[in-house]
């Protein structure tokens, strides 16, 4: 649990990420922090280089107030995603501005984490101001960073990836399921609906088998054993699971017809009946407009159209990385030390 001063520091950082500049009085008023406390915190942040004095505010007849601006490069973040045949990464500052990104043609294989450690080590060497790391994996992950279920990476089962990274590099780290990161990235894109007012489900069929991310009223749903989103196990008609009903070949835009479209349509109807989401999001790598039509037609055979969610298409890769960046920036904001 955060102390009061730690909470104040977190909120001040959040304020600066939204506002270009601020005075002590503005910080005190908007965040309900006493003026002396705000003054002390801002002075400490200035000494450490986290904020800088950029001038004086316009005078209202009295002494002009100091105007501060946040230094977005004071601390930087690293996000890494794990896919079947590659590792992707992005380095960014506290404002989410990308400094470097790339991919490595490798993966965690049967549980060999050496490629991942090598990638993280190389990036940290090039960017010594990185103060937090987020890693996305196609697996169920506990709050403590344990890999609980990774059907295509059996050797990772039971590995605490968070502890491994933190002990080796001394950098605060968060580990997240890929679909959880993707739904966060979609929902917190400023061009979309405020997430707290809606329920979202992100579906992806991918190289590692189908998965889903659920966000309800702005909160990720992980479930009792962090198994939420393992949709391949959802039972369907004719005694098959959802995973068994999907085409064996890779799904591509325009290819979802017949039994595959029926399976996805049934799944959408199932979600509509259980949690009644506002939106179901699909990847543009897999689904196009004609697929959406096929899915909708099948869903309407089970659920009245007025109760069905809106089906939308988005860029999964960008959403995934955006979600990982958000998680990493949260780590940066939450760090209590100014050094």
For residue 167, the surrounding DSSP H or E stretch is helix 161-169
pLDDT at residue 339, rounded to an integer: 39
pLDDT at residue 32, rounded to an integer: 92
Give mean pLDDT, residues 179-196.
76
The pLDDT confidence band at residue 191, using thresholds 50, 70 and 90, is very low
Give the list of residues 6+ apart from residue 129 with CB closer than 8 angstroms, or none.
73, 74, 75, 76
As a three-state string, the secondary structure of the chain is: CCCHHHHHHHHHHHHHHHCCCEEHHHHHHHHCCCHHHHHHHHHHHHHHCCEEEEEECCCCCCCCCEEEEECCCCCEEEEEEECCCCEEEEEEECCCCEEEEEEECCCCCCCCCHHHHHHHHHHHHHCCCEEEEEEEECCEECCCCEEEECCCCHHHCCCEHHHHHHHHHCCCEEEEEHHHHHHHHHHCCCCCCCHHHCEEEEEECCCCCCEEEEEECCEECCCCCCCCCCHHHCECHHHCEHHHHCCCCCCCCCCCCHHHHHHHHHHHHHHHHHCCCCEEEEECCCCCHHHHHHHHHHHCCCCCHHHCCEEEEECHHHHHHHHHHHHHHHHHHHCCCCC
The residue behind tokens 């909120």 is 11
State how far the Cα of 14 lies from the Cα of 313, in Å rounded to an integer: 30
Higher-pLDDT residue of 3 and 272 is 272
Higher-pLDDT residue of 177 and 62 is 177
pLDDT at residue 198, rounded to an integer: 87
**Is the four-CA dihedral 154, 160, 166, 169 of positive or negative sign?**
negative
Give mean pLDDT, residues 198-216.
90
The two tokens of residue 262 are: 């029926």
The closest of 314, 335, 60 to 173, measured between CA atoms, is 335
State how far the Cα of 165 lies from the Cα of 319, in Å rounded to an integer: 24
pLDDT tens figures, 283-319: 999 999 999 999 999 999 999 999 999 999 999 989 9
In the sheet where 310-314 sits, what is the strand order?
Answer: 219-220, 211-216, 199-204, 279-283, 310-314
pLDDT at residue 180, rounded to an integer: 96
The closest of 266, 297, 268 to 282, measured between CA atoms, is 268
Q: What is the pTM of this model?
A: 0.87
pLDDT tens figures, 36-59: 999 999 999 999 999 999 877 665
The pLDDT confidence band at residue 35, using thresholds 50, 70 and 90, is very high
pLDDT at residue 1, rounded to an integer: 63
Residue 126 has pLDDT above 50, yes or no: yes
Residue 64 contacts residue 56 (beta carbons within 8 Å): yes
Residue 257 contacts residue 294 (beta carbons within 8 Å): yes
The pLDDT confidence band at residue 188, using thresholds 50, 70 and 90, is confident
């Amino acid at each position: 649990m955060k102390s009061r001063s730690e909470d104040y520091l977190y909120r001040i950082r959040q304020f600066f990420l939204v506002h270009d500049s601020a005075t002590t009085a503005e910080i005190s008023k908007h965040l309900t922090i006493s003026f002396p406390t705000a003054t002390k915190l801002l002075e400490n942040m200035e000494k450490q280089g986290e904020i800088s004095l950029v001038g004086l505010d316009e005078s209202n007849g009295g002494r002009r107030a100091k105007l501060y601006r946040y230094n977005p490069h004071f601390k930087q973040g690293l996000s890494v995603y794990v896919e079947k045949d590659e590792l992707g990464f992005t380095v960014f500052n506290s404002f989410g501005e990308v400094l470097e990104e790339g991919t490595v043609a490798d993966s965690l294989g049967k549980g060999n984490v050496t490629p991942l450690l090598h990638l993280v080590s190389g990036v940290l060497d090039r960017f010594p101001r990185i103060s937090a790391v987020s890693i996305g994996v196609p697996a169920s992950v506990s709050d403590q960073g344990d890999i609980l279920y990774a059907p295509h990476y059996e050797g990772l089962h039971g590995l605490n990836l968070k502890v491994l990274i933190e002990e080796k590099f001394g950098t605060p780290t968060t580990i997240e399921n890929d679909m959880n990161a993707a739904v966060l990235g979609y929902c917190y894109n400023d061009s979309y609906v405020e997430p707290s007012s809606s329920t979202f489900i992100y579906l992806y069929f991918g190289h590692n088998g189908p998965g889903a991310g659920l966000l309800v009223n702005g909160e990720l749903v992980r479930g009792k054993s962090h198994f939420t989103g393992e949709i391949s196990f959802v039972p369907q008609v004719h005694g098959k699971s959802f995973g068994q009903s999907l085409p064996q070949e890779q799904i591509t835009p325009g290819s979802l017809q017949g039994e595959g479209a029926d399976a996805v349509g049934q799944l959408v109807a199932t979600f509509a009946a259980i949690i009644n989401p506002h939106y179901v999001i699909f990847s543009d790598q897999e689904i196009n407009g004609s697929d959406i039509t096929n899915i909708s037609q099948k869903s309407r055979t089970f659920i009245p159209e007025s109760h069905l969610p809106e089906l939308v298409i988005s860029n999964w890769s960008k959403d995934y990385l955006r979600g990982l960046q958000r998680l990493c920036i949260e780590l940066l904001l939450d760090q209590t030390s100014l050094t």
